[in-house]
């Protein structure tokens, strides 16, 4: 008997439900790998959280310091009310620190203390402390009082209106504050209330310590701060800087995409894990303009030209035509970023990199209908370079505002692909290949994080040093698996207008 068989059907149906138990250690290996992935995920999460907390603490501490500084005027009032060392009776003996001229005009001044006529609003009254408990010139805890205490140029610190008056008070001991007469007599009334233009007092250094003076010190601090703030208001907030940096660039690779990497792996010895690939040293240069919004916060933007890339050592490439393609003049190499298709043939590589290249002779095969002509290959060191125009948008926070200032900055940048090149290394020199990495996106976004140091060189000109880390927020290739990152130490100069 003779029968005819459909071989495809025999195998398809014959194997459809076939099952074979794998060895137990396979699951052990899978479990081990999955556990490692879980641990890595948790660790990354922890690092991200830790970094976020550190940033929050830095910014928070800076903000609180700033807030404390600018609100000292208000604190003068609060400290007076809340001073635990003072009893009620003592509180009553503490003179008002801030008094409006109108109040002075109308105040019933006890125990013979006399005052001059109120002065003009542009000058300031100074009220001296007295010994009696009857002093009733209490400060009004009104908005206007508080406001005046914190606005510069209009209020002179009480009791420190001039060196002479301060001298009169400086020897007073704490124990005598409440018992010894310290007010001037009637003949000295003029000295008890004086008005001196604020500009004359400048920054006065107290030279005695007493409980009464404590409040005045705080008042003085307010004045000093106001003076400095007023000066800073005159600064131009704009600055321009020129920076350059070497960039060490590399990439993170996700899971390889089977549909994406197929072709060139056949034409090269590239490993799936891309172990041949190494970081590449490139560079970045650019100019940016910054605007100071407040004392510590500023924003900046600009234009940078940056190159990133990667190097692959000892890659064996074969002519693409080897696999029956009608394309007789190209070859390709698969990299983590994408396939690099190069016009020409590998013989050019052999000629160009004779010292590094290694010719691999492979016989010609024919299957009857087509010819496999992967006749030669060459081992090369291979470089991919991508250049971008970068437009960063960053926020900068001044951590330490000294001569040597420190700041933190963060933001994002938009990258526009400008160049996409491939090279081979020939005697330590790059030889440009006529080809490019396919499926690289023409636009992407980077996250930026930097820590900067500034030091003044001459007037308005500062030296900048800013280590910066950037990570591609959007994948670089169509397969969505590659995120380049780079680290650079930007140095440059900054000119403040």
Partner 1 sequence: MSDTLKELDDLIKECKKNRPDAQRKLYERFSGKMFAVCLQYSKDYTEAEDILQDGFIKVFTKISQFDFKGSFEGWVRRIMVNCALERYRKQNLLYTVGEIRDYDNKLAVDDVMGEISSKELLKLIGDLSPQYKMVFNLYAIEGYSHQEIGDMLGISVGTSKSNLSRARVILQEKVEKLYSERKQDVKLVVK
Nearer residue to partner 1 within complex by CB, 30 or 443: 30
Reduced 3-state DSSP string for 134-151: CCCCCCCCCHHHHHHHHC
Of the residues 173, 209, 235, 271, which one makes contact with partner 1 according to CB under 8 A: 271
Of the residues 366, 402, 403, 458, which one makes contact with partner 1 according to CB under 8 A: 366
Within 10 Å of residue 414's Cβ, how many Cβ atoms? Answer: 15
Examine residue 34 and tell whether it contacts partner 1 (CB under 8 A): yes
Examine residue 358 and tell whether it contacts partner 1 (CB under 8 A): no
Helix axes 24-70, 211-233, angle to 10 degrees: 100
Of the residues 46, 63, 68, 365, which one makes contact with partner 1 according to CB under 8 A: 365
Q: Could you tell me if 107 and 137 are in contact, meaning their C-beta atoms sit under 8 angstroms apart?
A: yes
Of the residues 13, 81, 200, 434, which one makes contact with partner 1 according to CB under 8 A: 13
Examine residue 15 and tell whether it contacts partner 1 (CB under 8 A): yes
> Which one of the spans 2-10, 156-164, 212-220, 486-494 is the region binding partner 1 (CB under 8 A)?
2-10
Minimum CB distance to partner 1, residue 316 (Å)? 10
* Euclidean distance between CA atoms 495 and 462, whole angstroms: 6
Nearer residue to partner 1 within complex by CB, 22 or 85: 22
Residues in the chain: 497
Examine residue 361 and tell whether it contacts partner 1 (CB under 8 A): no
**Interacting residues of 313 by C-beta distance below 8 A, sequence separation 6+:** 276, 278, 381, 382
Examine residue 370 and tell whether it contacts partner 1 (CB under 8 A): yes
Examine residue 465 and tell whether it contacts partner 1 (CB under 8 A): no
Interface pattern 293-332 for partner 1 (x via CB under 8 A): -------------------------x---xxxx-------
What six digits make up the tokens of 213? Answer: 């003076």
Helix axes 211-233, 143-150, angle to 10 degrees: 70
* Euclidean distance between CA atoms 121 and 495, whole angstroms: 40
Of the residues 179, 205, 355, 369, which one makes contact with partner 1 according to CB under 8 A: 369
Examine residue 458 and tell whether it contacts partner 1 (CB under 8 A): no
Examine residue 29 and tell whether it contacts partner 1 (CB under 8 A): yes
What six digits make up the tokens of 449? Answer: 């994080």
SS3 156: coil
* Euclidean distance between CA atoms 177 and 202, whole angstroms: 27
What six digits make up the tokens of 206? Answer: 């107290």
Paired strand residues for 431: 424
Minimum CB distance to partner 1, residue 259 (Å)? 8
Examine residue 359 and tell whether it contacts partner 1 (CB under 8 A): no
Contact residues for partner 1 (CB under 8 A)? Answer: 1-15, 17-23, 26-27, 29-31, 33-35, 37-38, 255-256, 258, 261-267, 271-272, 318, 322-325, 362, 365-370, 372, 374
């Amino acid at each position: 008997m003779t029968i005819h068989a459909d071989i495809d059907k025999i195998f398809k149906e014959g194997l459809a439900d076939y099952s074979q138990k794998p060895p137990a250690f396979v699951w052990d290996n899978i479990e081990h790998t999955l556990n490692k992935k879980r641990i890595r995920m948790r660790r990354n999460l922890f690092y991200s959280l830790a970094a976020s907390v550190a940033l929050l603490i830095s910014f928070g501490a800076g903000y609180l310091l700033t807030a404390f500084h600018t609100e000292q005027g208000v604190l003068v009032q609060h400290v007076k009310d809340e001073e635990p060392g003072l009893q009620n009776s003592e509180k009553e003996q503490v003179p008002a620190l801030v008094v409006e001229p109108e109040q002075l005009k109308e105040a019933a001044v006890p125990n013979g203390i006399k005052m001059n006529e109120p002065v003009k609003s542009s000058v300031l009254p100074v009220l001296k402390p007295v010994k009696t408990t009857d002093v009733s010139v209490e400060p009004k805890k009104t908005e206007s009082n508080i406001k005046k205490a914190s606005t510069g140029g209009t209020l002179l610190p009480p009791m420190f209106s001039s060196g002479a008056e301060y001298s009169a008070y400086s020897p007073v001991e704490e124990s005598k504050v409440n018992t010894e007469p310290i007010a001037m007599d009637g003949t000295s009334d003029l000295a008890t209330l004086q008005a001196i233009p604020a500009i004359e007092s400048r920054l006065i250094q107290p030279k005695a310590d007493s409980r009464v003076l404590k409040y005045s010190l705080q008042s003085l601090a307010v004045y000093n701060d106001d003076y400095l703030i007023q000066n800073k208001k005159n600064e131009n907030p704009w600055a321009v800087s020129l920076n350059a940096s070497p960039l060490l660039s590399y990439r993170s690779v996700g899971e390889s995409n089977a549909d994406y990497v197929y072709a060139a792996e056949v034409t090269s010895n590239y490993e799936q894990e891309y172990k041949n690939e190494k970081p590449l040293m490139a560079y970045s240069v650019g100019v940016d303009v910054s605007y100071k919004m407040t004392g510590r916060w500023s924003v900046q933007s600009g234009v940078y030209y940056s190159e990133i890339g990667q190097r692959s050592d000892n890659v064996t490439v074969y002519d693409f035509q080897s696999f029956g393609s009608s394309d007789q003049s190209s070859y390709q190499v698969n990299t983590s970023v994408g396939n690099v298709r190069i016009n020409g043939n590998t013989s050019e590589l052999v000629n160009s990199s004779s010292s590094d290249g290694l010719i691999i002779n492979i016989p010609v095969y024919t299957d009857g209908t087509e010819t496999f002509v992967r006749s030669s290959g060459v081992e090369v060191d291979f470089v991919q370079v991508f250049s971008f125009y970068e437009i960063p948008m960053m926020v900068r926070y001044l951590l330490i505002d000294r001569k040597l200032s420190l700041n933190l900055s963060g933001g994002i940048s938009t990258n526009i692909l400008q160049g996409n090149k491939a090279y081979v290394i020939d005697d330590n020199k790059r030889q440009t290949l006529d080809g490019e990495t396919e499926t690289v996106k023409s636009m992407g976004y980077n996250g930026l994080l930097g820590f900067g140091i500034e030091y003044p060189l001459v007037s308005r000109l500062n030296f900048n040093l800013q280590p910066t880390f950037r990570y591609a927020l959007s994948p670089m290739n169509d397969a969505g698996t590659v995120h380049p990152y780079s680290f650079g130490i930007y140095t440059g100069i900054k000119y403040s207008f």
